[in-house]
Amino acid sequence: MEPLTIGMVAGEPSGDALGLHLMQALRQHLPHARFTGIGGPRMKGAGFEALVPMEKLAVMGIAEVLRHFPELFSIRRRLTAHYLSERPRLFIGIDSPEFNIGLELKLRSAGVPTVHYVGPQIWAWRAGRIHTIRRAVSKMLVLFPFETAIYERAQVPVAYVGHPLADQLGNFPGITAMREQLRLPTGGKIVTLLPGSRVTELKRMSGLFVATAERIAEAVPGVQFLIPFVSRETREIFEGALLSRAAGELNMSMMFGHAHEAMAAADVVLVASGTATLEAALLKRPMVITYKVAALSALVHRTHAHLPYVGLPNVLAGEFVVPEFLQDEATPDNLAQAVTNLLFDPVMRQRLEARFEKMAGELRRDASTAAAAAILPLLEGAPA
């Protein structure tokens, strides 16, 4: 008997983690299922058959996508042809909507059921995409509760599955236990710096983060900085920024990985906008959010944006609960002042921690199991 084949495309590390846990949950019901497409090391370690390296899809921002468009278009065309020939029982696009929605549109029109896991942020910008999504997606799986109504109004079948990070970080050690584990002073001021995980982000953000750390150190004697990196290349870029500013005197501990530990140990986190902002909230850590993108990307986003904030904690709260400094407002003086304010305001930090605790409870739903349960009806009658 031929194994049931499920196509999957995950375009970046966060999608690789989602894909791994979803594969594991689906195999509880379909132990002999075969998964093939684009995935990262976690998915491949679980038996995923990668047709294209995941790194080929890991680009971001309008300018960056335009620069890589010919290669991305070629990959999607080849992958579409492969799936139309192989005819998987189901296709699951994990995030990466700019790539996956177009692929899903072609597959669904050819009779292949499609699932999109992680709703595109139509609530933030480019709401018009919902019309394409309606044609492309047999089932949308969303991570945030407020998204359900958006897709239901547009007549897109949808299931709220919760956020996997809320499950993962639910029992993470608190600040005191984490400092003891990392052998950090329990009473000192600690700021964790998260300038991004991609090379393009580090190139754009490192100088800003170093200059901000210098100003914080001037205002807060003895402050210690933690900064985790995902790769040697990103660390070297940040070290280059330190050298260019002759900022070697900063009390800074660099780490490979362990971003969650570094966040949990901090009084305040200075973080580039993205998933890391949600991670900091789920760890109940006060934060300041910042970001800079290429001028073209910023212009397009401003033109199509629907919300006054970009950080996920603010989006989920429906208001500014933590400060954001974007583009021209992202200056060392602004960021250092905001971080310092939080460092010396224990009442505000306690309020944020309580708000984030409630937020985490709303998002904790055993997401992978819930996602598998939403997907299985599309595979009814499939051999196990």
Residue 59: its pLDDT value, please?
55
Residues 115 and 136: their CA atoms lie apart, in Å, by 9
- In DSSP notation, 136-169 reads H-SEEEESSTTHHHHHHHTT--EEE---HHHHHT
Do 52 and 189 fall into the same domain? no
The CA–CA distances, whole Å, from 153 to 98, 131, 330 equal 22, 11, 36
Do 357 and 374 fall into the same domain? no
Residue 68: its pLDDT value, please?
59
Do 271 and 357 fall into the same domain? yes
Report yes or no on 330 lying in a domain.
yes
Report yes or no on 72 lying in a domain.
yes
Residue 296: its pLDDT value, please?
46
Report yes or no on 213 lying in a domain.
yes
For the chain, what's the residue count?
Answer: 384
- Contact, 342 vs 289, CB < 8 A? no
Report yes or no on 170 lying in a domain.
no
Report yes or no on 71 lying in a domain.
yes
Do 64 and 116 fall into the same domain? yes
DSSP 3-state assignment of 252? strand
Do 319 and 374 fall into the same domain? no
Residue 154: its pLDDT value, please?
92
Do 235 and 348 fall into the same domain? yes
The CA–CA distances, whole Å, from 251 to 33, 66, 212, 218, 226 equal 50, 40, 13, 12, 9
Nearest to 279 by CA among 179, 170, 202: 170
Residues 269 and 276: their CA atoms lie apart, in Å, by 10
Full residue range of the structural domain in which residue 78 is found = 5-162+365-379
Report yes or no on 235 lying in a domain.
yes
Calculate the dihedral angle through the C-alpha atoms of 72, 161, 271, 347, rounding to the nearest 10 degrees. Answer: 170
What is the model's pTM? 0.82
Query: Which CATH number do you get for residue 42?
Result: 3.40.50.2000
Do 101 and 195 fall into the same domain? no
Sign of the four-CA dihedral 175, 177, 178, 183: positive
Residues 383 and 301: their CA atoms lie apart, in Å, by 45
Enumerate the H helices of the chain as residue ranges.
13-27, 41-45, 62-86, 97-109, 130-136, 147-153, 164-168, 175-182, 199-219, 232-244, 259-264, 275-282, 295-304, 312-317, 332-343, 346-363, 367-375
Sheet of 324-326, strands arranged across: 252-256, 224-229, 190-194, 268-272, 287-291, 324-326
Report yes or no on 31 lying in a domain.
yes
Do 314 and 192 fall into the same domain? yes
Report yes or no on 215 lying in a domain.
yes
Residue 293: its pLDDT value, please?
67
DSSP 3-state assignment of 272? strand
Do 323 and 216 fall into the same domain? yes
Do 15 and 65 fall into the same domain? yes
Residue 299: its pLDDT value, please?
46
Chunk the chain into consecutive blocks of 10 residues (it has 384) and report each block's average pLDDT, rounded to whole numbers.
87 89 96 95 96 74 53 88 96 93 96 95 74 96 93 95 93 95 94 91 93 96 95 92 82 94 97 92 97 58 60 91 93 98 96 95 95 94 51
Do 179 and 237 fall into the same domain? yes
Do 111 and 208 fall into the same domain? no
Domains: count for the chain:
2
Residues 226 and 259: their CA atoms lie apart, in Å, by 9
